[in-house]
């Protein structure tokens, strides 16, 4: 296809008129579709309903060590759940794991909150400091940024690359500025680009020499086993052991959950870290709760058994998700390929595709889609303070709609990208003409 950038003003005018007409047509269809959030489709949830039959009134509710999961006791997770979550995260020892409630986001929030009120391993509580900053590789996960914003933590954007965050920038900032206390990372199938950190990136993270002793890497391994393909999978190094090897075992917290393995909201979540960090956390946990839901932990252990069980299970999810990702990518390739108005990622796992429009076109594109009945994640959502400096990033979440809905939504989406791009190019041509 001919690049839009090579079109003359007249060609652009013709094109714009044609796209405008198509868009008016599309609006007439009365679509009502949602590609905004990384939600599993109902059909994905249907494949795991057996988990609800694992524990019944006649089941044995004792752990292997004989602890009754129906009663009080064990604040940091039943041993077999620690083992399962360690395997899922690729962490060597279950001793490095605490299993909590239903959401890893809650563990991250608590970890930041606890650092605010109590500091980290004896450091000054962050709420007593004049300034606390976090590095935010972006585009990234909006809810990470919401947590830090909620606590008044200043967020500094770090550019993302296909190998992970720009480590030159990370190393420089972290070593120079003691008010930088953390960095948000989604190391595997990153949200929203689907990038996985290279071995070099992980090793450079482990080798960081932060100015702040209470600097921590918030390593949200949200998509550890969320592959789309059987053969071609991304794998990352285990940050826990890399930090140990580098002599900084306390520098990282790793988070994960089964929200997108079993049920969103009814899964189990875990944190992995050094013994010192986990002991610090346990001290607060004994104030915060008498214990998490051990019955649900037991349910997950009995159902999945081990990493093999989880991997086999995740293939069923992949079989449902893969055609959706491929359908969207096919529309993007077919309709936008060669036009030079957008680039997009082709992830091998995770829940998102990330698309870059020309600068200044994201908000308008998302608004056009919405006007015609297709809801996308708000433009800018993947950046701190909801503000994309180039206004170019759009997150596509292909999992929740049915395949049929998704194709309709993707068709409308590319039409909107083209329309807004043509408008922008026309404006530039117009501006140039005026300038002449």
Which parts of this chain interact with its own copies (CB under 8 A)? Answer: 37, 39-40, 42, 45, 49-53, 55-59, 68-73, 101-103, 105-106, 109-110, 113, 116-118, 125, 127-128, 143, 146-147, 150-151, 259, 263-266, 284, 286-296
Minimal distance, residue 288 CB to its own copies, in Å:
4
The distance of closest approach from Cβ of residue 177 to its own copies in the complex, given in angstroms and rounded to an integer, is 23
Number of other residues whose CB lies within 10 A of the CB of residue 420: 25
How far is it, in rounded angstroms, from Cα 195 to Cα 412?
A: 26
Rg, Å, the chain Cα set = 23
Q: Pick the closest to residue 107 from 315, 313, 259, 305 (CA basis).
A: 259
Cβ closer to its own copies: 14 or 117? 117
Residue number, 49 or 436, with CB nearest to its own copies: 49
> Least distance from C-beta 58 to its own copies, angstroms?
8
Of 350, 341, 335, 339, the C-alpha closest to 396 is 350
Minimum CB distance to its own copies, residue 61 (Å): 8
From the number of C-beta atoms within 10 Å of its C-beta (0-12, 13-18, 19+), residue 353 rates as buried
Nearer to its own copies, 125 or 323 (CB): 125
Of the candidates 71, 67, 114, 82, the one whose C-alpha atom is nearest the C-alpha of residue 291 is: 71
Q: How far is the CB of 244 from its own copies (least distance, A)?
A: 30
If the CB atoms of residues 8 and 42 are measured against its own copies, the closer one turns out to be: 42
Residues 187, 239 contacting (CB under 8 angstroms) = yes
* Structure tokens given for 352: 């998102």
CA distance 252 to 318: 30
Taking alpha carbons only, the member of 143, 224, 239 closest to residue 190 is: 224
* E strand segments, 227-331: 252-257, 269-272
**At closest approach, how far in Å is the CB of 36 from its own copies?**
11
Rounded to an integer, what distance in angstroms lies between the CA atom of residue 9 and that of residue 430?
Answer: 8
Closest to 101 measured CA to CA, from 290, 306, 310, 274? 290
The H helix count followed by the E strand count for the chain is: 13, 13
CA distance 429 to 405: 36
Nearest approach, Cβ of 53 to its own copies (angstroms)?
5
C-alpha dist (Å) from residue 21 to 51, 86, 336:
50, 55, 18
How many residues make up the chain in this entry? 436
| 85/358 with CB nearer its own copies | 85
Compute the least distance from the CB of residue 247 to its own copies, in Å.
31
Q: What six digits make up the tokens of 37?
A: 């959030």
CB of 357 to its own copies, least distance (A): 27
In degrees and rounded to multiples of 5, residue 75 shows phi and psi of -85, -25
Least gap, CB of 199 to its own copies (angstroms): 31
- For its own copies, the closer of residues 32 and 433 by Cβ is 32
Q: Which is nearer to its own copies, 266 or 307 (CB)?
A: 266
In our burial notation (b when 16+ CB lie closer than 10 A, e otherwise), range 377-397 reads bbbbbbbbeeebeebbbbbbb
127: DSSP letter: G
- Structure-derived torsion over alpha carbons of residues 255, 258, 263, 264, reported in degrees to the nearest 10: 20
Q: Which residue, 118 or 316, has its beta carbon nearer to its own copies?
A: 118
Q: In this complex, which beta carbon is closest to its own copies, that of residue 101 or of residue 347?
A: 101
Residue among 69 and 301 whose Cβ is closer to its own copies: 69
User: Which C-beta is closer to its own copies: that of 150 or that of 275?
Assistant: 150
Q: Is the dihedral angle over the CA atoms 378, 383, 384, 389 positive or is it negative?
A: negative
Least separation, in Å, of the C-beta of 272 and its own copies? 20
């Amino acid at each position: 296809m001919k690049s839009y950038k090579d079109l003359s003003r007249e060609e652009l005018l013709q094109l714009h008129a044609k796209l405008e007409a198509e868009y008016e047509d599309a609006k007439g269809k009365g679509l009502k579709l949602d590609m905004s959030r990384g939600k599993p489709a109902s059909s994905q949830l249907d494949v795991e309903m057996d988990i609800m039959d694992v524990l019944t009134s006649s089941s044995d509710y004792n752990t292997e060590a004989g602890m009754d999961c129906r009663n009080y006791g064990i604040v940091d997770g039943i041993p077999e759940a620690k083992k399962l979550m360690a395997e899922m995260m690729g962490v060597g020892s279950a001793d490095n794991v605490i299993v909590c409630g239903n959401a890893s986001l809650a563990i991250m929030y608590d970890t930041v909150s606890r650092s605010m009120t109590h500091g980290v391993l004896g450091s000054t509580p962050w709420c007593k400091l004049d300034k606390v900053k976090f590095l935010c590789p972006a585009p990234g996960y909006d809810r990470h940024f919401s947590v830090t914003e909620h606590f008044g933590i200043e967020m500094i954007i770090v550019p993302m690359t296909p190998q992970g965050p720009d480590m030159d920038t990370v190393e420089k900032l972290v070593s120079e500025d003691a008010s930088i206390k953390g960095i948000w990372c989604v190391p595997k199938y990153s949200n929203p680009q689907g990038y996985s950190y290279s071995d070099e990136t992980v090793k450079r993270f482990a080798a960081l020499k932060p100015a702040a002793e209470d600097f921590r890497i918030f390593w949200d391994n949200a998509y550890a086993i969320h592959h789309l393909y059987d053969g071609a999978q991304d794998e990352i190094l285990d940050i826990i052991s890399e930090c140990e090897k580098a002599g900084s075992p306390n520098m990282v917290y790793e988070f994960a959950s089964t929200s997108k393995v079993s049920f969103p909201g009814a899964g189990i979540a875990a944190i992995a870290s050094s013994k010192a960090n986990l002991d610090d956390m346990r001290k607060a946990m004994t104030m915060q709760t008498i214990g998490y839901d051990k019955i649900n932990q037991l349910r997950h252990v009995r159902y999945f058994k081990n990493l093999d069980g989880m991997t086999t299970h995740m293939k069923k999810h992949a079989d449902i998700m893969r055609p959706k990702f491929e359908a969207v990518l096919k529309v993007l390739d077919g309709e936008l390929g060669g036009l030079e108005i957008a680039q997009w990622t082709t992830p091998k796992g995770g829940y998102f595709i990330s698309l870059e429009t020309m600068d200044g076109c994201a908000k308008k594109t998302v608004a056009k889609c919405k006007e015609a009945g297709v809801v996308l994640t708000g433009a800018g959502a993947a950046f701190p303070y909801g503000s994309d400096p180039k206004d170019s990033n759009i997150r596509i979440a292909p999992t929740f709609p049915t395949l049929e809905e998704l194709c309709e939504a993707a068709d409308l989406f590319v039409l909107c990208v083209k329309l807004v791009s043509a408008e922008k190019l026309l404006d530039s041509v117009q501006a140039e003409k005026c300038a002449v």
